[in-house]
Chain A
Amino acid sequence: MPHHPTRHGLGTLLFAVAATFPGLSFADDAPGDAAPPASPPAPPTDIVVEDRPDDAGDGLVVRWTLSKDDTEDADPRTVLKYVVERKPAKGGEFEQVGESTYKQPEFEDEVDHGTAYLYRVVAVGRGDVRSPAAESTEAVQPVLQWFNGRRAWFGILLLVVCGSVVYFIQIARRGTDLYIRPIAGLEAVDEAVGRATEMGKSVLFVPGIQDINDIQTVAGITVLSRVARTVAEYDAELVVPTARSLVMTTAQETVEAAYLSAGRPDAYREDDVYYLTDEQFGYVAGVTGTMVRDEPAACFYMGAFYAESLILAETANSIGAIQVAGTAMPSQLPFFVAACDYTLIGEEFFAASAYLSGEAHQLGSLKGQDVGKGIGATLVVLGCLVLTATTLFTVRGFDVGLLTAIGDYLTQNVLGDGGLSR
């Protein structure tokens, strides 16, 4: 307990005095007959121990009714905390497993699977005076659940979205023509590479600053594949500095494959895809240095970006490079939009890989995404309507029981962790 001098100094002093003179007591409800410095608080009651739902059978929840001394108006507080103790039902001693602060009648305990436990809870007051312990009557054993019911709706939505992506990929495979709106930024890729070739300058590709386990980096590498193929076809020069070693090896493989498929394996140089540093601003310094020295004619930024986005884009602008960016970092989008010639915004960036691959069936995945958007939009509109109607009808005095139930179900079960029916 930190005894802060400004707020507890007096209390501490009083307790010290009280302890020195056993006959004295400063507690409000001190019994007449001497002894402890303050009387112990009333114990908590009604201890209930239950299995923690939706876990691997390794958790119990202990609940109790607060000590009747645990009230707001007690000043200083009579109850400071509750101490939770447990022992295995088969025997052994009670051991403290945790604490909860005052006004908190609940504690979640991590336990061993397959063992039944008994619990007791003690209310603790100032000077570490403890109430009598309140004990649970029945031993409770944690139960293992095979399915996390709280995620049921999440699972359903995931299945629907993934299912529709797969379904539309199949549809596209069968040759059905799917309309996808043109994305200006993607059509600029060829233009940018072409310009670099005309000017006899290089193309710089930055695959973001995150590692390959970030899906944005994977999407960036996919775009790189296409850029590298165009570069190989145009016989231009490509430079790819990376901020992660794994991204470097992946990018090397990808660029090599792209040169191969363009029929120019001889033009591929491994040294052009190189690692700089993991350190964010060290990387920025390295890349902008390359920009200023080599003056690439086209710069691509495809991946996860942070504060470096604008530093890169403004530097490349100062050397007159044409710039195409793509990222799913909402916070960096405004910077790219302001400073680059073309920007792939969020999902457009992910769509780019499908679009640029030129494979019809990959476009199917975009249609699948639209189903997800449809579900999202429906839930948003439905939720707004229901909650607005609930408020309006409540004001007019109508019965809104059903509406409230729907609203609660939407927020707590479909979107929350209430599962199918909780």
Chain B
Amino acid sequence: MKRTVPLFLAAATGFVLIVASFVPAAGSWGKYAVDWFNILAALAFVLGGGSLLSQHLKKISDQQAGWGYSLVTVVSFLATLVVGLGKFGVAPPTLHPDKVWAGDYKEAGSGFSWIFDYLYTPLAATMFSILACFVASAAFRAFRAKNVEATILLVTAFIVLLGRTYAAIWIGDQADWLASQVVDPAIWHPYVTGLRLDKLTETIMDVFNTAGTRAIMIGIALGIVSTSLKVLLGVDRSYLGSDDR
């Protein structure tokens, strides 16, 4: 029972929406499904928040390793919540100055926007920037010419890395100049411009990369169709948890 009802709901919603995409009059049904999902997800925030608090409060009270981080998490969480919900520093809207609580919590100058601009933005940008360091360390550690495929990958990486910067233009210009000292450029130029690193990068991205990506995407799309179908038909039920077995 615990699994049958959800299974039925999933199947019914899924198949109705598939059919609806072929019936113009039912075109907006998908939107309602999305609305329902958003309502559920919003309610689940309470569960998530509860989980976060209980997890970290427990760590703090047990003084587990790294409980100081948990303290920072809990304090930041509550502070942001209070400042946002309490609409600290939010002015009433110009059209309705008497409605004190009607202002937008995100408007410029509010406490929440201060947190956003001066805490959240630099923190998020920092985490993203760390990626550059990890790309470098991964390249240093893992990018080895172990076999023919890896070597092709390596050469391609060199071309694209250079082709995406001014280095490609500079190298191309130098090569052009050198070659033109020997032979008249008019003779060979049309045949080799495509070999300049920046052009080669374009070709690699537009032709080889696109072809490969397309193939992977077709495979993924079919995988999605068959996985979805298994979920809708109830062939795959592992996401539903245990039944009354």
Direct A–B contact in the complex, CB atoms closer than 8 angstroms: yes
Q: B131 near A310 (CB under 8 angstroms)?
A: yes
* A161 touching B225 in the complex, CB below 8 Å, given contacts A221-B238, A279-B124, A362-B235: yes
Q: B66 near A146 (CB under 8 angstroms)?
A: no
The one of A151, A166, A289 that contacts B66, using a Cβ cutoff of 8 Å = A289
Provide the bound-state CA to CA distance between A213 and B220, in Å.
Answer: 16
The one of B41, B48, B65, B228 that contacts A275, using a Cβ cutoff of 8 Å = B48
Task: Kindly provide the distance from the CB of B25 to the nearest chain A CB, expressed in whole angstroms.
Answer: 4
Q: Which residues of A contact B41 (CB under 8 A)?
A: 211, 244-246
Q: B241 near A166 (CB under 8 angstroms)?
A: no
Task: Kindly provide the distance from the CB of B91 to the nearest chain A CB, expressed in whole angstroms.
Answer: 27
Q: How many residues of B contact A (CB 8 A)?
A: 63
Q: B241 near A165 (CB under 8 angstroms)?
A: no
Q: A281-300: which residues lie under 8 A (CB-CB) from chain B?
A: 281-282, 284-285, 289, 293
Q: Which residues of A contact B178 (CB under 8 A)?
A: none
* A350 touching B223 in the complex, CB below 8 Å, given contacts A249-B47, A281-B124: yes
* A366 touching B52 in the complex, CB below 8 Å, given contacts A257-B241, A357-B236: no
Judge whether A330 is part of the interface by a CB distance below 8 angstroms. yes
The one of B55, B141, B219 that contacts A271, using a Cβ cutoff of 8 Å = B55
The stretch from A74-82, A184-192, A341-349 touching chain B is A341-349
Query: Chain A: which residue is nearest B18 at the CB level?
Result: A158
Q: B138 near A250 (CB under 8 angstroms)?
A: no
* A55 touching B24 in the complex, CB below 8 Å, given contacts A274-B52, A328-B224: yes
- Count, A-B residue pairs, CB within 8 A: 203
Q: Which residues of A contact B123 (CB under 8 A)?
A: 281-282
Q: Which residues of A contact B227 (CB under 8 A)?
A: 215, 218-219, 350, 353, 365
Q: Which residues of A contact B165 (CB under 8 A)?
A: none
The one of A147, A215, A278, A345 that contacts B224, using a Cβ cutoff of 8 Å = A215
Q: How many residues of A contact B (CB 8 A)?
A: 85
The stretch from A16-24, A84-92, A331-339, A397-405 touching chain B is A331-339
Judge whether A248 is part of the interface by a CB distance below 8 angstroms. yes
Q: Which residues of A contact B240 (CB under 8 A)?
A: 253-254
Q: A155 near B22 (CB under 8 angstroms)?
A: yes
Task: Kindly provide the distance from the CB of B113 to the nearest chain A CB, expressed in whole angstroms.
Answer: 16
Q: B199-245: which residues lie under 8 A (CB-CB) from chain A?
A: 213, 216-220, 222-231, 233, 235-236, 238-242, 245
Q: Which residues of A contact B223 (CB under 8 A)?
A: 328, 346-347, 349-351, 369
Judge whether B4 is part of the interface by a CB distance below 8 angstroms. no
Q: B51 near A248 (CB under 8 angstroms)?
A: yes
Q: 4 closest A-B pairs (Cβ-Cβ)?
A: A253-B241, A245-B48, A350-B223, A257-B242
- Using a CB–CB distance below 8 Å, which chain B residues touch chain A? 18, 21-25, 27, 37, 40-41, 44-49, 51-52, 54-55, 58, 65-66, 69, 123-124, 127-128, 130-131, 134-135, 137-139, 141-143, 213, 216-220, 222-231, 233, 235-236, 238-242, 245
Could you jot down 6 A-B contacts, CB within 8 Å?
A146-B25, A162-B229, A282-B124, A346-B223, A349-B223, A350-B224
